[in-house]
Structure 1
Amino acid sequence: MKRRISTAVAAAVVLAVTGCASDNDEPGGGGTTGPAVSYPVTVGNLTLDKRPEKIVSLSPAATEMLFAIGAGAQVTAVDDNSNYPPDAPKSELSGFQPNAEAIAAKAPDLVVLSNDTNKVVDQLTTLKIPVYLAASAVTLDDSYKQINDLGALTGHSTEAADTVRRMKDDIAKLVEGVPRRETKLTYYYELDPTLYSVTSKTFIGALFAMAGLENVADPSDADGKKGGYPQLSAEVLVKADPDLIFLADTKCCQQSLETVKARTGWADITAVRNGHVIQLDDDIASRWGPRVVDLVKAITDAVAKAPA
């Protein structure tokens, strides 16, 4: 359960690019098309004396960012959960339980992580291996900053800025096109079949709020003690009677309209009765890279199709 929620927090976003985001559908792996970049380059406390050519990414979201900005050719190894783009050089390395010795064996000149489990940052720093920590995004601005930071570090600042601009433009257009309603539609977002969800204070929840939706999970973590990821009860869900249900557990747990309808008491929920159960791609719903546009599109499409 911890691993599942961790992935979701890592965005859960959790949050790939179809339709209006087609520019990012095929992440590039080639060299920079912008002006020559001079080194050393400093981002935060990290300084690189030269362009990294052996990058190890232990974050699926960061892997997507690196390829989207054209730094894919510089990535020599990614963690075992980095499955997009399909040609990313997947390895046996773990982003959840990073092992400094195993990472060092790849002889990287830059390591990108999303967490500091096992104090791996200190271990790698001791080994003189540069580390960029791309923690789970809390806001879209966090995602944009990480993309720009990686652009600066890898010599792809221009491409990074273009990627961020496209993301902002695409999301703005999607949100602008959402039909406005006198009464907000309510929704339930499912992380797994044990009914863990997200509140509006999370990265994912904020995306739904942008589309004018009301989250039925918010009262379950009103004091914030559950970190924005409360576990709801079936009784609470049935009583809340959401207009829309979004499933972010279709890959991991094979959930669908049919499986939800089969749950005791769920067949009478408005979303289920009207067939407004949206099956999301787990990966897109849990990452905060460029494909977050796809999650926003799935949300806005669902709102547009819901009855007035």
Structure 2
Amino acid sequence: MGKRLLMGLMLLAGAVQADERCAVDDRGREVCLPAPAERIAALSPGATELVYAAGAGARVVAVVEYSDYPPEARDVASVGSHTRLDLERLLALAPDLVIGWVTGNPAEQLETLEALGLPVFYIEPRSFEGVATTIERLAHLAGSEAAGEAEAARFRDGMAELAERYAEAAPLSVFYQVWDEPLMTINDDHLIGQVLSLCGGVNVFGGLERLVPRLDEEAVLAADPEAILAGGMGEENRAWLTHWEQYPALTAVARDNLFFVPPSLIQRPTPRLLEGSRLFCEKLEVARDRREASP
């Protein structure tokens, strides 16, 4: 009887260990779960998209404001904003895995969650490969490897196809506006800067030190980009581009190269970045055609 009990306990221990899930997050910490996550809290809109992309959307029990994609994420309980969490409501939802954003969530609140014993997995993809590996790691933690690996492969293949297609594209000077007041852009190290380079664009402020530099209008006028790309306050708000039309001598204005790109397609490091990158590349091709047609 004692032998049987011992063997049973050993088999049970082996089964538990076999179900353990470990992954290294973007802070270099190994996070281990005794079993695949069943109740996931995603604490930024980007994290929410990535968990769904990993095939684990049905396990998401908590999100934050502006987690609007995919559409079903809008029906998940919100626990505040990415900058200020409602910890009481979050804890009441009993997550067994919390997905935090390295630079976006309040550190002291996430430290509180860890002190209470909740596993926190930090993410913040800063490259195309980073997007793919984040999907794979989240899928591993949730036990949805097949779906996550398929989505990561689709994203990798799509970005590689774009890189090949535009490898010989003629360089084109570009200003990307990420905000209006204060006026802000991105440098070459930023993920959006990497998209510009992929499409053959030359970021006129790419060499600046800060990832998201602040500018004044005079700097943009002096740089005189051939194209201006911008998002806006919402998915269909072109007001930021309209602002530049008061400078008809600006090359981008003279050639009608003021291009709107829905911000959610380019400003979140998720698989939709592939769609945003295709749009970027198409806009720059239009600008190249207009360059050849200009006197």
State the TM bucket, normalised to the shorter chain: 0.7 to 0.9
Structure 1 match to 2:11: none
Task: Give the AA of the match of 1:125.
Answer: E
SS at the partner of 2:184?
coil
Structure 1 residue 205: deviation in Å? 0.5
What's the RMSD between the two structures over aligned residues? Answer: 2.2
SS at the partner of 2:248?
helix
Structure 1 match to 2:56: 71
Match of 1:283 among 255, 264, 270: 264
- Return the index of the structure with the highest Cα Rg: 2
SS at the partner of 2:72?
coil
Q: Is the 8 A contact 2:97 2:120 kept in 1?
A: yes
SS at the partner of 2:265?
coil
Structure 2 match to 1:122: 111
Give the alignment of 1:246-261 within 5 angstroms.
Answer: 246-251=229-234, 254-256=237-239, 259-261=242-244
Q: Is the 8 A contact 2:98 2:119 kept in 1?
A: yes
For the structure 1 residues 157 and 260, does the alpha-carbon distance in structure 2 shift closer, same or farther, using more than 3 Å as the test? same
CA distance in 2, matches of 1:257, 1:148: 36
Instruction: Number of aligned residue pairs: give it.
Output: 263
CA distance in 2, matches of 1:38, 1:216: 52
SS at the partner of 2:99?
strand
Match of 2:22 among 42, 46, 49: 42
Structure 2 match to 1:133: 122
For the structure 1 residues 268 and 90, does the alpha-carbon distance in structure 2 shift closer, same or farther, using more than 3 Å as the test? farther
SS at the partner of 1:112?
strand
Structure 2 match to 1:240: 223
Q: Is the 8 A contact 1:98 1:118 kept in 2?
A: no
SS at the partner of 1:76?
strand
Q: Is the 8 A contact 1:175 1:300 kept in 2?
A: no
Match of 1:85 among 62, 70, 76: 70
- TM-score, with normalisation over the residues of structure 1? 0.79
Give percent identity, aligned residues only.
25
Structure 1 residue 158: deviation in Å? 1.9
Task: Give the AA of the match of 1:260.
Answer: H
For the structure 1 residues 258 and 164, does the alpha-carbon distance in structure 2 shift closer, same or farther, using more than 3 Å as the test? closer
Structure 1 residue 231: deviation in Å? 1.5
For the structure 1 residues 39 and 252, does the alpha-carbon distance in structure 2 shift closer, same or farther, using more than 3 Å as the test? same
Match of 2:46 among 49, 55, 61: 61
Unmatched 5+ residue regions in structure 2?
1-16, 25-29
Kindly indicate whether residue 99 of structure 2 is the aligned counterpart of residue 108 of structure 1: no
Task: Give the AA of the match of 2:20.
Answer: P
CA distance in 1, matches of 2:77, 2:274: 24
Q: Deviations over 1:212-242 (max 9, x none)?
A: 21111135x2xx2xx2211222112112111
- TM-score, with normalisation over the residues of structure 2? 0.82
Structure 2 match to 1:158: 146
CA distance in 2, matches of 1:252, 1:64: 17
Q: Point out the structure with the larger helix share.
A: 2
Kindly indicate whether residue 166 of structure 2 is the aligned counterpart of residue 186 of structure 1: no
Task: Give the AA of the match of 2:71.
Answer: P
Structure 2 match to 1:174: 162
Q: Is the 8 A contact 2:54 2:136 kept in 1?
A: no
Q: Deviations over 1:76-124 (max 9, x none)?
A: 1211121101111151422122343332121111111113514223211
